[in-house]
């Protein structure tokens, strides 16, 4: 398959799940079990598509690194057991580790809480030429913090700033911040891995029953599951308010891990391809230098 075909295929996987418009988005329109035209019998063909996507990604990343102009920030949000970790592991499996970084944002530390909520994430935005991954992010500020008001209290904000408009303000600020990053050459793609409540239950049970997966289970996961509907409302509102052409959300069906990985891989390939990356052109002086070095190596050098 040539590059053009790979890109075309990437578009067909990513586009159905891309949200760029703040109006009209409804979570119920995306089925967590969706696999487009692929039935489970076609899984091997789909996995081949993933392998091709990973290969394309590795080539694009090499140019991103060499060109050293753009940075890429991939943000992952999801309910527990939706497959964030596995998706990151698989999709990034072909890239050069020197050109990428992963940061996980868990419950904030005392130092984090003493700052504005973007502070800890801002420090981890990737530098030019690199791909940065946020495993959870400042979006938790409109999710877990919205579902559990006690987290907001821990932030010790001046009380007059904590009004009923606080979520609207957070969305405005996040949109502005992402626009700022986009204007500075940071390409942002956001992924909500949309798992169903039923599939989450199946995966939790698997974690409880399989000794090799026990470590993945946390009692807190069950507590959060009880707030499922609140989380879905918060996710929907968050996507409606922060999906923009510069920083789109991809609402990725997550009941089938193999499909999730293909869609995320395709979205990243698509994002990098849109940058028209190329290796830096070497100047005339540099070419002379290279040719002189070659002569030294091939010619008079004493061995
Ligand atoms: P795993 O797949 O291993 O469970 P995880 O991302 O769920 O990975 P955990 O340590 O289980 O990692 O959970 C991190 C927790 O931190 C989540 O429950 C998340 O909601 C919480 N968290 C993240 N950011 C914030 C925040 N700003 N305020 C409060 N809680 C937060
Ligand atoms: Mg967890």
Summarize pLDDT for 76-133 with one digit per residue, the tens: 999 999 999 999 999 999 999 999 999 999 999 999 999 999 999 999 999 999 999 9
Ligand nearest to the CA of 103: 1
- C-alpha of residue 146 to centroid of ligand 1, in Å: 14
Mean pLDDT along residues 55-64: 94
Determine if ligand 1 sits within 6 Å of the CB of residue 85.
yes
Nearest to 131 by CA among 175, 93, 170, 169: 93
User: Is the CB–ligand 1 distance for residue 126 below 6 Å?
Assistant: no
pLDDT (mean) for 144-172:
96
Any ligand 1 atom below 6 A from CB of 107: yes
Rounded CA-CA distance 226/193 in Å is 19
Is residue 15 within 8 A of residue 248, CB to CB? The reply is: no
Q: Residue 38 pLDDT more than 90?
A: no
Residue 3 above 80 pLDDT? no
Give me the mean pLDDT over the 187-202 stretch. 98
Which range is least confidently modeled, 42-46, 149-153, 227-231?
A: 42-46
Residue to probe by mutation, ligand 1, list 79, 103, 107, most atoms within 8 Å of CB: 107
- Higher pLDDT residue, 64 or 52? 64
pLDDT of residue 37: 79
Ligand 2 centroid from CA 189, angstroms: 22
β-bridge mates for residue 100, sequence order: 131
Cβ of residue 270 lying under 6 Å from some atom of ligand 1: no
Query: Mutation test of ligand 1: which of 144, 193, 215 has the most ligand atoms closer than 8 Å to its C-beta?
Result: 144
What pLDDT does residue 303 have?
A: 60
| pLDDT average, residue stretch 23-34 | 93
- CA 80, CA 193: separation in Å to the nearest integer? 10
- CA dist list (Å): 126 to 116, 140, 250: 20, 19, 20
Residue 145 banded pLDDT, cuts 50, 70, 90: very high
User: Could you identify the atom of ligand 1 that is nearest to the CA of residue 138?
Assistant: 27
Cβ of 144 less than 6 Å from ligand 1: yes
Pairing of the two strands 18-19 and 249-253: antiparallel
User: What is the average per-residue pLDDT within 196-216?
Assistant: 95
Whole-number percent of the chain with pLDDT over 70: 99
Q: Closest by alpha carbon to 27, among 230, 257, 224, 204?
A: 230
Give 236-273 pLDDT, tens digit per residue. Answer: 999 999 999 999 999 999 999 999 999 999 999 999 99
Mutate to test the pocket of ligand 1, among 140, 147, 222, 225 (most ligand atoms within 8 A of CB): 140
Q: Name the residue of 77, 118, 136 to mutate for ligand 1: max ligand atoms within 8 A of Cβ.
A: 136
Percent of the chain with pLDDT over 90: 85
Give nearest CA residue, ligand 1 atom 23.
Answer: 106
Å from CA of 129 to ligand 1 middle: 28
The protein residue whose alpha carbon is closest to atom 22 in ligand 1 is 107
Which pLDDT belongs to residue 302? 66
Nearest CA, atom 3, ligand 1 = 216
**Would the pLDDT of 227 be above 90?**
yes
What b-and-e string marks burial along 91-118, b requiring 16 or more CB atoms within 10 Å of the CB? Answer: bbebbeeebbebbebeebeeebeeeebe
The answer on pLDDT for 159 being more than 80 is: yes
Nearest ligand for residue 106 CA? 1
**Cα–Cα–Cα angle for 221, 255, 6, rounded to 5 degrees:** 130
Find how far residue 279's CA is from the centre of its chain.
25
Supply φ then ψ for residue 188, to 5 degrees.
-115, 130
Q: 125 or 47: whose pLDDT is higher? A: 125
Beta strands in 144-212 (DSSP E): 186-194
Burial (CB count within 10 angstroms: exposed 0-12, middle 13-18, buried 19+), residue 125 = middle
Which atom of ligand 1 lies at the shortest distance from residue 143's CA?
Answer: 20
């Amino acid at each position: 398959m040539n590059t053009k075909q790979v890109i075309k295929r990437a578009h067909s996987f990513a586009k159905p799940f891309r949200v760029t418009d703040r109006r009209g988005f409804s979570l119920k329109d995306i089925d967590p079990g969706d696999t487009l035209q692929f039935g489970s019998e076609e899984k091997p063909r789909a996995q081949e598509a993933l392998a091709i996507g990973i290969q394309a990604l590795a080539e694009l990343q090499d140019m991103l690194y060499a060109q050293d102009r753009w940075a890429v920030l991939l943000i992952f949000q999801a309910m527990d057991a939706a497959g964030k970790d596995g998706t990151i592991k698989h999709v990034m499996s072909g890239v050069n580790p020197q050109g990428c970084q992963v940061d996980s944002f868990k419950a904030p530390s005392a130092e984090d809480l003493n700052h504005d909520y973007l502070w800890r994430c801002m420090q981890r935005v990737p530098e030019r030429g690199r791909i940065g991954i946020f495993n959870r992010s400042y979006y938790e500020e409109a999710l877990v913090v919205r579902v559990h008001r006690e987290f907001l209290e821990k932030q010790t904000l001046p009380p007059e700033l904590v009004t009923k408009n606080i979520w609207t303000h957070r969305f405005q600020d996040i949109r502005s911040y992402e626009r700022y990053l986009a204007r500075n050459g940071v390409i942002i793609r956001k992924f909500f891995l949309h798992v169903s409540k039923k599939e989450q239950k199946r995966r939790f049970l698997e974690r409880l029953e399989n000794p090799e997966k026990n470590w993945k289970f946390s009692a807190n996961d069950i507590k959060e599951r009880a707030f499922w509907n609140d989380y879905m409302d918060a996710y929907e509102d968050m996507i409606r308010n922060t999906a923009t052409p510069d920083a789109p959300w991809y609402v990725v069906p997550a009941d089938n891990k193999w499909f999730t990985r293909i869609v995320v891989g395709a979205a990243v390939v698509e994002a990098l391809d849109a940058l028209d990356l190329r290796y830096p052109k070497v100047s005339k002086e540099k070419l002379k230098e290279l040719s002189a070095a070659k002569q030294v190596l091939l010619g008079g050098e004493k061995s």
